[in-house]
Amino acid sequence: MKVSIDPVSTMNCENCGAPLKLERERHYLFCEYCNGLYFPKESPEGLYLLGAPSQVDCPLCRKLLVLARIGHFEVLACQQCKGLLLDMVDFLSILEYLRLKYPERRRPPQTFDSKELARELHCPHCASTMETYPYGGAGNVVLDNCLKCGILWLDYDEVSRIVQTPERVQDFVPWLDITSIRTQSEDENE
Ligand SMILES: [Zn+2]
Ligand SMILES: [Zn+2]
Ligand SMILES: [Zn+2]
């Protein structure tokens, strides 16, 4: 995700307490005062939090999202609700990366709460109402996206749920085909 960020991270040096600075291209943080280098630890969900604030608000909490990485893909994360904003074009590659990394599929398929389909989030880039629809692949989650801006919002745990649930025969990507989104949401209403 190519967004501008403030390199001064929300994370502090363990030695001297000064805010760490992000070396974006090199994926580490450093302390200008004691010259320490920090390599972020990977969370159990496969996320490396870099903590550098973007200028993009969380669509739920309205706090500034911070830069994070999954593999070499940059994403934006909310430090409050733990949601993720990512580029749609990266979504399948991110899932593929995480599925290879975490090959166990232990979570049984769940049904999603249909109330989630009625939720209205606003795109943090263009402010239009984001579309919601059930993700057709494993995990049964409801995704929020803005097709115009090419971004996708995932609530806390949705990525893990997709990755850790056994895949169905064929996962599909609804937004590649606009007609299938319409058909699907019409079916949902019946
Ligand atoms: Zn320091
Ligand atoms: Zn949030
Ligand atoms: Zn938008």
pLDDT tens across 145-187, in order?
999 999 999 999 999 999 988 876 555 555 555 444 444 445 5
Whether pLDDT at 110 is above 50: yes
Please give the backbone phi and psi of residue 37, each rounded to the nearest 5 degrees, phi first: -110, 140
**Whether residue 135 has pLDDT greater than 90:** no
Nearest to 150 by CA among 91, 82, 99, 104: 91
Confidence check: pLDDT of 62 > 80: yes
Spacing, Cα 38 to ligand 1 middle (Å):
10
The ligand minimizing its distance to the Cα of 38 is 1
Enumerate residues with CB within 5 Å of ligand 3 (an ion): 123, 125-126, 146, 148-149
Residues with Cβ within 8 Å of 133's Cβ and at least 6 positions away in sequence, in order, are 117, 142, 143, 174, 181, 184, 185, 188
pLDDT of residue 13: 95
Name the pTM for this structure.
0.84
Average of per-residue pLDDT across 112-131: 91
> 29 C-alpha to center of ligand 1: Å?
11
Q: How many residues does the chain have?
A: 190
- Long-range contacts of range 19-24, CB-CB < 8 Å, 24 or more positions apart? 20/51, 22/50, 22/51, 22/52, 22/67, 24/50, 24/52, 24/67
Residues within 5 Å of ion ligand 1, judged at the Cβ atom? 13, 15-16, 18, 31, 33-34
Element (H, E) at 53: strand 48-57
